[in-house]
Amino acid sequence: MGVKPSSRGCFGWFVVAVILALVIGAIVYTIKKKTEKSEGPAPIPGPPGAIDKKYADALKIATQFFDIQKSGKLVDNKISWRGDSALKDGSEAKLDLSKGMYDAGDHMKFGLPMAFTATVLSWTILEYGDQMDVVNQLEPAQDSLKWITDYLINAHPEENVLYVQVGDPKTDHGCWDRPEVMKEKRPLTQVNASFPGTDVAAETAAAMASASLVFKANSAYSSTLLKHAKELFTFADKYRGLYSESIPEVATYYNSTGYGDELLWAASWLYHATGDKSYLQYATGQNGKLFAQWGSPTWFSWDNKLAGAQVLLSRLTFFGDKDTSNTGLQMYRKTAEAVMCGLIPDSPTATKSRTDGGLIWVSEWNALQHPIASAFLASLYSDYMLSSGTAKLSCNGDSYKPSDLRKFAKSQADYVLGKNPMKTSFLVGYGEKYPQYVHHRGASIPADATTGCKDGWTWLERKEPNPNEATGALLGGPFLNETFVDDRNNSMQAEPSTYNSAIIVGLLSGLVTTSSTVHSFT
């Protein structure tokens, strides 16, 4: 009597299922291995979680501000009221410095914050590129990053020469005009062996080293970036000095308070980019003892990279270097933990520096920079813990989970997006209510207006809202008492900056899905 088709039995189906699982597993393993050898981060294990529409929508808006800030001949221009500008930048030195991005609402190119923008954008892509890709924001972010790194490559024509500024701030700030029509002189400023700028040279090295990882698939471009990064780091370390002391006039705008943080930050990125242990030794050895301020938490910003370096080097202890004999590396991890403990609101060591609405408060000027940068680091650290199976963080005896850090990160993002006493979004273009009088020249003057340097000032004083929307701009933000004056003349609160955009894009990329894990990008 034959076996009925329906009587194969449980064991038979089990064998088929096992074989099928093994075949699928082998395919997945092969794909994963191939991907790990290709450009950028490998796929995360399993789906990254459901898309959180709020953060996905905000991320799509935030990335647009980079296009608004682009200098040079615009390719595939997506901003209707922007056009080509500053095409002759660098010509007096026979260089093409037409690319790069304008710093804020003006038309200056400041090297220190621009390089910081590139480093943070690279870090974001390396950690969260897969999540950005889910909502079609990876390619725009890579394009924006390359617009800056193309400029930085040209700004470093010799080993010990780096152009760190295009434009004269006094002249530039004496005009209110669109970048497309500006006619004022655009002088160049450089640091060199005689007039060193350790801080700006090292930050530029960090930007190029991190970007070399982002563009790994383009081996020639990646190698060029890495070559410049190594040369700039050597230049920064050999000829030590603050760029704002070498060039006192820059101190009014981006005064650097130290260069040790940039040296450690650059060395950390060069280690990740090269695997050369001498860079890790640089950061964890004597220079770490001199500059890292181990045990003393600091705020992450364009001027101070210590907290960023601490978190970046901590990831080695989560995923790679388990060598507990490297006391310097362990001190970076310990200090990063102290930074995190200071951010969690109910931690025994939580900073009291917050508004009543829960926003971290550090500076009256550009108030949102520090809380958003802190939230970005908290998002990263939370994901390092989650991905490595680290269950808890100890803060003076109290234990906290990765979800506690993520909750803090979301609270700062939510504040920016409108969950605040003013019920206004500080990300232009997001939500039902956001500022209409952004301190931004291009946004404040119609594209078809005929203005020069001086007659453009009438557009600053007009009572009407800006004719062009600076979509994606993250503004300076509220005062400590949680008030905000939406006024074009209020540059303290109403001016956006390109580096603010980098940190909000970083934070939103970490929150764009309901859960996220990270992986090695070396």
Kindly state the average pLDDT of the residues 161-176.
95
Q: Has residue 15 got a pLDDT over 70?
A: no
pLDDT digits (tens, 9 = 90+) for 23-70: 334 333 333 333 333 333 333 334 467 899 999 999 999 999 999 999
Q: Has residue 17 got a pLDDT over 70?
A: no
What integer pLDDT is reported at residue 326 of this predicted model? 85
What integer pLDDT is reported at residue 522 of this predicted model? 61
- Take residue 251 and report the two structure tokens written for it: 């101190």
pLDDT digits (tens, 9 = 90+) for 394-452: 999 999 999 999 999 999 999 999 999 999 999 999 999 999 999 999 999 999 998 88
| Spatial contact of 522 and 272, defined as CB atoms under 8 Å apart | yes
What integer pLDDT is reported at residue 320 of this predicted model? 75
| Spatial contact of 471 and 60, defined as CB atoms under 8 Å apart | no
What integer pLDDT is reported at residue 520 of this predicted model? 66
Nearest to 318 by CA among 522, 29, 72: 522
Nearest to 172 by CA among 180, 181, 184: 184
What integer pLDDT is reported at residue 451 of this predicted model? 87
Share of the chain above pLDDT 70, in %: 89
Kindly state the average pLDDT of the residues 239-256.
94
Kindly state the average pLDDT of the residues 105-134.
96
Q: Has residue 1 got a pLDDT over 90?
A: no
Q: How confident is the model at residue 323 (pLDDT cuts 50, 70, 90)?
A: low
Question: Which position has the token pair 């709020």?
Answer: 54
pLDDT digits (tens, 9 = 90+) for 342-381: 999 999 999 999 999 999 999 999 999 999 999 999 999 9
Q: How high does pLDDT run on average in the chain?
A: 90
What integer pLDDT is reported at residue 48 of this predicted model? 62
Share of the chain above pLDDT 90, in %: 85
Contacts of 508 (CB under 8 A, 6+ apart): 55, 58, 59, 62, 413
Q: Has residue 286 got a pLDDT over 60?
A: yes
Backbone dihedral region of 3: left (phi > 0), alpha (psi from -120 to 50 degrees) or beta?
beta
Q: How confident is the model at residue 325 (pLDDT cuts 50, 70, 90)?
A: confident
Contacts of 303 (CB under 8 A, 6+ apart): 254, 255, 256, 257
What integer pLDDT is reported at residue 518 of this predicted model? 76
Residues annotated as catalytic are 439
Q: How confident is the model at residue 16 (pLDDT cuts 50, 70, 90)?
A: very low
Question: Which position has the token pair 């900073």?
Answer: 351
Lowest mean pLDDT among 22-36, 193-207, 469-483: 22-36
Q: Has residue 311 got a pLDDT over 50?
A: yes
Task: Note the CATH architecture for domain 53-511.
Answer: Alpha/alpha barrel (1.50)
Q: Has residue 11 got a pLDDT over 70?
A: no
Nearest to 165 by CA among 235, 248, 47: 248
